[in-house]
Structure 1
């Protein structure tokens, strides 16, 4: 009998072909969700290409950042990024799991891996922002011990800001 697939979380260069493909999938999904909700249309292809190119993920490169890739059964399935904002604060970003693999525990593993990476970078707290329509993300962060807090940036697409102490693993 074949064992069920498992998750493996590893660091990956932000500009690897796998990382770029997952970034494209992530950005396409969140952009389309935004435009469908607010304008009743998908993302304009020219805008999509421009924005994907403009946000390479270079801030997720060592020594002050990390990009993690989750593989499910050996296949690239998701990402989580972390970047230092100051000596003790890291920011969680690009948390994504391909739609067909959601509900299998990958997102929580990616976030916990990003927390470990942030601790290794010297961070004692993690911050993040997300949009109101990304209800699954907000539920995930709350379940993992993140608390809503005051805005820590002026991102026009951010509606909710979260923080979590990294001093200990809370499960």
Structure 2
């Protein structure tokens, strides 16, 4: 008998510079940048642009004590990542939700988001916010399915087109 797919997944905090976290961050940046450039310029990301993007966002704000980087594993292998960082004493921001393409559709993204919500609660947050782009329709559908509602902008991130929020307590966001 095959065990349920959920038993194949695990999540745990990870150091930003671990080989798994580094590889997943590079894969995330490659995909997110390629999607943008293909959408607006009809080309993939130039390698130099990718290196600048990776260097510009080292993720140090996802390290303790004000943040957490999480890595999901599927069957013990690095499969996805996400992070949370405190924006203020009550609000955390969800960022970098990524699952390797060949493992999508197996529950990993929802597992990562829920683990990030738990990490945000552990940091003391009572609500969680995020931003995303219009072309990331899969992400927007995931957030809506997990109870996130569109909100007013909480930041001025250059590529943000949609903002979402969710209460981490029983009260509405």
With the shorter chain as reference, the TM-score category is: over 0.9
Paired residue for 2:124? 122
Offset, 1:4: 6.0
The list of structure 1 runs, each at least 4 consecutive aligned residues, that deviate by more than 3 angstroms after superposition, is: 1-5
Identify which range, 160-169 or 98-107, moves more after superposition: 160-169
Q: Which runs of 5+ in 1 are unaligned?
A: none
Indicate which of 155, 158, 165 corresponds to 2:157: 155
**How far apart, CA to CA, are the structure 2 residues paired with 1:9 and 1:118?**
14
Paired residue for 2:53? 51
Q: Which runs of 5+ in 2 are unaligned?
A: none
Q: TM-score, normalised by structure 1?
A: 0.96
Q: TM-score, normalised by structure 2?
A: 0.95
Offset, 1:64: 0.4
Paired residue for 1:18? 20
Indicate which of 87, 108, 120 corresponds to 1:106: 108
After the TM superposition, which residues 59-98 of structure 1 pair with which residues of structure 2 at under 5 Å, given as runs?
59-98=61-100
- Residue deviations 1:77-96 (CA, integer Å, cap 9, x gap): 00010000000000000000
